[in-house]
A and B are shown apart, each in its own frame.
Chain A
Amino acid sequence: NAGVTQTPKFRVLKTGQSMTLLCAQDMNHEYMYWYRQDPGMGLRLIHYSVGEGTTAKGEVPDGYNVSRLKKQNFLLGLESAAPSQTSVYFCASRGRAEAFFGQGTRLTVV
């Protein structure tokens, strides 16, 4: 029972580099979300998707792009990484009520 799987678990980027974080869920959920967690800030919503082919901005979308080409996958892209994007990123998917989270990706931008 995989649930929500995030790839990679850790990454170090240099400023200006790009990367894509992958989120995969096997629960056939329509909703998927990307959050970032920073010390003292809780979980803040970056982007979300309400179904295959749809994406929308959350609270802190700047510097990120997303795509949902397949229902089970939700990709988060950083085109030009900045030190302010150093964070732990969590993907979540949701059915009717509660959301299920992946184990997180710890990203450091130097």
Chain B
Amino acid sequence: DQQVKQNSPSLSVQEGRISILNCDYTNSMFDYFLWYKKYPAEGPTFLISISSIKDKNEDGRFTVFLNKSAKHLSLHIVPSQPGDSAVYFCAAKSLIYSGGSNYKLTFGKGTLLTVNP
């Protein structure tokens, strides 16, 4: 039962164009969403996040959109640069146990973004 889904294993875009990475989730208890970027042989690094009470968060070239009714979020990168080529993971935060106070992150399988010069 995959609660966070990234249905596109890979995406290829031209430098300067927009990259749109998508993520769907099934658990309505998720209250915070994060995007991580991962280069080969490195650990994931935090990129941008959004609370479930918002529908948009922007940080420079990166914008995350959240559509709660559709249980969908997307990461937009504009303009895309070759250095953005990496695997992008969508993650969602939720309580580990209902009624508790401890949280965990559930990750999608990742999308490999390739930005071509």
Instruction: Say which one of A12-20, A42-50, A66-74, A79-87 lies at the interface with B.
Output: A42-50
Chain B residue with Cβ nearest A42: B109
Residues in A whose Cβ lies below 8 Å from that of B44: 43, 90, 101
Bound-complex Cα distance A62 to B109 (A): 21
B104-A103 in contact (CB<8A): no
User: In the complex, which residues of chain A have a beta carbon less than 8 angstroms from the beta carbon of B107?
Assistant: 35, 42-44
- For A45, the chain B residues whose CB sits under 8 A away are 104-106
Closest to A35 in B: B107
Of B34, B43, B96, the residue contacting A98 (CB under 8 A) is B34
- The one of B6, B36, B42, B108 in contact with A103, judged by C-beta atoms closer than 8 angstroms, is B42
Task: Give the one of A6, A41, A98, A104 with max B CB within 10 A.
Answer: A98
A25 shortest CB reach to chain B, Å: 12
Given A56-B96, A90-B43, A104-B41, A97 and B109 contact (CB-CB distance below 8 Å): no
Whether A104 lies near B46 (C-beta < 8 A) is: no
Q: Known pairs A45-B105, A103-B42. 18 more at Cβ < 8 A? A: A4-B43, A6-B43, A31-B102, A31-B103, A40-B9, A43-B107, A45-B106, A56-B96, A58-B104, A90-B43, A97-B32, A97-B34, A97-B93, A101-B43, A101-B45, A103-B43, A104-B42, A104-B43
A contacts, CB < 8 Å to B: 4, 6, 31, 33, 35, 40-45, 48, 50, 56, 58, 90, 92, 94, 97-104
What 9 A-B pairs have minimum CB-CB distances, sorted nearest first?
Answer: A101-B43, A42-B109, A43-B107, A98-B46, A42-B107, A50-B102, A101-B44, A103-B43, A102-B43
24 intermolecular pairs with C-beta atoms under 8 Å apart: A6-B43, A31-B103, A40-B9, A40-B109, A42-B4, A43-B89, A45-B104, A56-B96, A90-B43, A92-B43, A92-B105, A94-B103, A94-B105, A97-B93, A99-B34, A99-B105, A100-B46, A101-B36, A101-B45, A103-B41, A103-B42, A103-B43, A104-B41, A104-B42
